[in-house]
Structure 1
């Protein structure tokens, strides 16, 4: 059914949603964004699903936005850019509001939009060797549509440490920033994620869904106005000379003009 992701549900109701573009470091293409949105709806409506594990194939968890997808946005008109950015925002929103607990199994590096995916998990466990970073500003872009979820996860003060600099950081700092709940050796990741899953199987599914909604209601709200503002900010940034230079430099395999 899906081309870029996979869903397997065991007899306990634990669904593993796996990013399966390993050859592209699980970068999010337009097709993957659409499939993740559809998967979120499928998992939300399936009464047999009790818990969702968000995982990935290959060495990387998610390298962020597919550069081909971003290059296509550079060539598009403003209306198309807005529409495509909204699809990304709606995918993240669908995962964020999924009425099932979502456990992230972060086995590899995560950059840009990959941190958006981690931020919409209820709990994320990471392998201790991974690197992460909000790398958009190196390309002349900004972490816009993922921003509401990243800032909600980190808090403003911690987000300011990494939101603008494109600095890479390790798993231990990922805990300090609030992205990861625990880090473990790679060979222990599956077992630790399983231990995170098991308690939910003793809980009333409706109560779990209501409790998750309550947490979201009590927390700072990621509302439609904020989402629309971030989409427009990204569309505006795509139209800048810096974005054209940054993405062009990436594809030309050269340093952007601002790099020393």
Structure 2
């Protein structure tokens, strides 16, 4: 088993399902102890924890609504307390609210900004107090942050584009402390909320150069690289793992 992250501790927000679960498991496979947050999917979070423990790693699930700044801070601090430290933060939790600009109201706007923008900022702010030299902050954006090919994506696209600015700003601010900050933009990925055999999947896959959906493991592989020692000189980067969607 690869152990490039042996002795490291990671927190993956929204790590109970989909891409987040894939990332949590890959980091554990690479040697890290892992905490995951979840909002409602307690059973799924517990299943991810069991899978991580079966790999011989420590794991903990923390209930936290990423729209609640206090809950986000608590999740970061609890990870450091329970697992002894924090080396890697993966900002993965997000909401996907779509609709025409004249149909989405203030509630949808505030929820999207709270979870997709404020949540990662607060998590990074809290994590920065724990991270040392070699620390990593990796946020999960979206291909539609760079190319919104369907109508109804303006709000979500805006929120994910904000992560690029956060990434570059934090990279400058935290770089002198040896902490790297990067953004991964997945393309269409086969999850329970966006299945590769869904009603619009063929059209969506057609926008990629490879003509297919990614697996969560494809996204997780890039995150694991950025979390590891071989990416020590990569910071402030926006990496598209989208099968050529934005080509």
TM-score where L is the length of structure 2: 0.30
TM-score, normalising length: structure 1: 0.29
Larger radius of gyration: 1
Which is richer in helix? Answer: 1
